[in-house]
Amino acid sequence: MATISIEHASKSFGSTKVLKDISLDVKDGEFLVLLGASGCGKSTLLNIIAGLEPMADGTIRLDGEVVNDVHPKNRDIAMVFQSYALYPNMTVERNIAFGLEMRKISKAERKATVREVASTLQIEHLLSRKPSQLSGGQRQRVAMGRALVRRPKIFLFDEPLSNLDAKLRGEMRTEIKKLHQTLKATMVYVTHDQIEAMTLADRIAIMKDGEIQQIGTPQEIYSKPANMYVAGFVGAPPMNFVEVDLVKREEQLGAILPAVLKGEPVDHFLPLPNSKHLEARENTKVILGLRPEIITDSTSTHSSAPEIECDVEFLEPTGADTLCIIRLNGHPAKARVSPLFACPPGESMRFTLDTHRACLFDPTTEQAIT
Ligand SMILES: Nc1ncnc2c1ncn2[C@@H]1O[C@H](COP(=O)(O)OP(=O)(O)OP(=O)(O)O)[C@@H](O)[C@H]1O
Ligand SMILES: [Mg+2]
């Protein structure tokens, strides 16, 4: 068992509050990703779990036991840093074995453990090299090896892949996922890369300015974002936000969606699924959140979803599909269509809008209207 439970954690550096009343539970064997922009407090929170940083207020429990005052060495946690922090004068083998050496593990046992870990990470052929003779990805593996040999209950990763190029990052991501499946250890992983978060996490905690905005499975975070910050942070290209008037026409509540057709402004009426919360907002403005894949060519869906016709300003082919830039309420918006049906820029095209998957936000609080 290895659970982490944080209750009401706060932390300040001088007069700056960097963590504000954070509460978070990580389940046994869970892969939890802390996702957020630079400076939001991810590393600080990870360091608090590791015991490298004291907390001002709050309680932290590992397996139910309060560890606020337990030394990092005695927390049974291993951490992998962005900088790798390898000893430059030691061989890979010794770098990996060093923690075991400090703990007075016998030479024979050390050798066996290092071999086993090196085999898992496929770095057996590098054991006699020095860190300077390794590529970035290989150094990253050695850093992981150093964490693995300790067989800790909990792994903490602080942006371990951010120094690697895109291709290697993708490969290492897969390796880390495999490792998690094999070890079934509890892992907390910090990143500001939303793709990394979506692909690795059992659950994602999105942070902003020292606060957790939402915790949920990648699918929950993607399809039911709690607010506009979360909605805009996850997904590429990002969700389109359009301010619309909510009105009722013939007993049907819907949004007035201003677009452009043959160079002229046109107002489309977009019926929205009924909900009590929406009814209460009749004749007010709301923010409609439309992911690009929700606005698609009418030929590729057979649903009864509403359609709009509008001018295409630009095309951005991505290979698998093509992004059409249209104009909604004066701002560019991206629609994701099949490359077969994307019409040339300057012409008008019919789009289907899957309004059941649209999000709605309060323009003042920016919180989701559910
Ligand atoms: N030792 C320190 N003294 C003063 N301020 C600090 C210290 N460490 C961090 N901070 C500040 O605390 C805030 C949170 O820092 P933290 O390193 O946790 O952010 P982060 O989310 O990990 O960012 P990044 O993605 O850039 O690594 C930042 O504004 C940072 O400047
Ligand atoms: Mg950091």
- Residue of the CA atom closest to atom 27 of ligand 1: 38
| Residue 150: per-residue pLDDT | 85
Summarised one tens digit per residue, pLDDT across range 157-199 is: 999 888 888 888 888 898 899 989 988 999 999 999 999 999 9
SS in 3 state form for 5-58?
EEEEEEEEECCEEEEEEEEEEECCCCEEEEEECCCCCHHHHHHHHHCCCCCCEE
Tell how far CA 312 is from the center of its chain.
31
Q: Is 283 in the pocket of ligand 1 (CB under 6 A)?
A: no
Tell how far CA 18 is from the center of its chain.
20
Residue 237 reports pLDDT greater than 70: yes
Residue 235 reports pLDDT greater than 70: yes
Q: Is 192 in the pocket of ligand 1 (CB under 6 A)?
A: yes
Ligand nearest to the CA of 15: 1
Beta strand residue intervals within 262-330, DSSP E: 264-271, 285-290, 295-297, 307-311, 314-317, 322-328
Q: Which CA distances in Å does 233 have to 157, 217, 228, 239, 360?
A: 21, 15, 8, 9, 16
Phi first, then psi: give them for residue 344, nearest 5 degrees: -65, 150
Residue 274 reports pLDDT greater than 90: no
Is residue 327 a contact partner of residue 295, using CB atoms and an 8 Å limit? no
Six-digit token string for 83: 């900088």
Instruction: Determine if residue 361 is left, alpha or beta; phi over 0 gives left, psi from -120 to 50 gives alpha, anything else beta.
Output: beta
- Residue of the CA atom closest to atom 4 of ligand 1: 13
Q: Is 44 in the pocket of ligand 1 (CB under 6 A)?
A: yes
Tell which residue, 199, 197, 200, has the closest CA to residue 214.
197
| Residue 137: per-residue pLDDT | 84
Residue 192 CA neighbour count, 13 Å, CB half: 12
Residue 300 reports pLDDT greater than 70: no
Phi first, then psi: give them for residue 151, nearest 5 degrees: 45, 55
User: How remote is the CA of residue 37 from the centroid of ligand 1, in Å?
Assistant: 11
Summarised one tens digit per residue, pLDDT across range 333-367 is: 999 999 998 899 999 999 999 999 999 999 999 99
Summarised one tens digit per residue, pLDDT across range 55-84 is: 989 999 999 999 999 999 899 999 998 877
User: How remote is the CA of residue 58 from the centroid of ligand 1, in Å?
Assistant: 19
Instruction: Give the residue with greater pLDDT, 120 vs 231.
Output: 231
Q: Where residue 302 falls among pLDDT bands split at 50, 70, 90?
A: low
| Residue 334: per-residue pLDDT | 98
Q: Where residue 243 falls among pLDDT bands split at 50, 70, 90?
A: very high
Which helix (H) or strand (E) segment is 194 a member of?
helix 194-200
Summarised one tens digit per residue, pLDDT across range 196-227 is: 999 999 999 999 999 999 999 999 999 999 99
Residue 294 reports pLDDT greater than 90: yes
Q: Is 304 in the pocket of ligand 1 (CB under 6 A)?
A: no
| Residue 52: per-residue pLDDT | 93
From the alpha carbon of 36, which atom of ligand 1 is closest? Answer: 21
Which range has the worst mean pLDDT, 52-66, 132-146, 191-205, 283-297? 132-146
Express as a percent the part of the chain with pLDDT over 70: 99
Is residue 323 a contact partner of residue 312, using CB atoms and an 8 Å limit? no
Domains of the chain: 4-233 (3.40.50.300), 240-361 (2.40.50.140)
Ligand 1 pocket: which of 43, 159, 208 to mutate (most atoms within 8 A of CB): 43
Please give the full DSSP string across 198-256, using - where no structure is assigned: HHH-SEEEEEETTEEEEEE-HHHHHHS-SBHHHHHHSSSSPPEEEEEEEEEETTEEEEE
Tell which residue, 224, 189, 230, 194, has the closest CA to residue 211.
230
Instruction: Give the residue with greater pLDDT, 151 vs 9.
Output: 9
Tell how far CA 149 is from the center of its chain.
28
| Residue 136: per-residue pLDDT | 84
Q: Is 208 in the pocket of ligand 1 (CB under 6 A)?
A: no
> d(Cα 173, Cα 210) in Å, to the nearest integer?
26
User: How remote is the CA of residue 41 from the centroid of ligand 1, in Å?
Assistant: 6
Residue 15 reports pLDDT greater than 80: yes
For residue 237, whether the previous peptide bond is cis, meaning omega lies within 30 degrees of 0, is: yes
Q: Where residue 273 falls among pLDDT bands split at 50, 70, 90?
A: confident
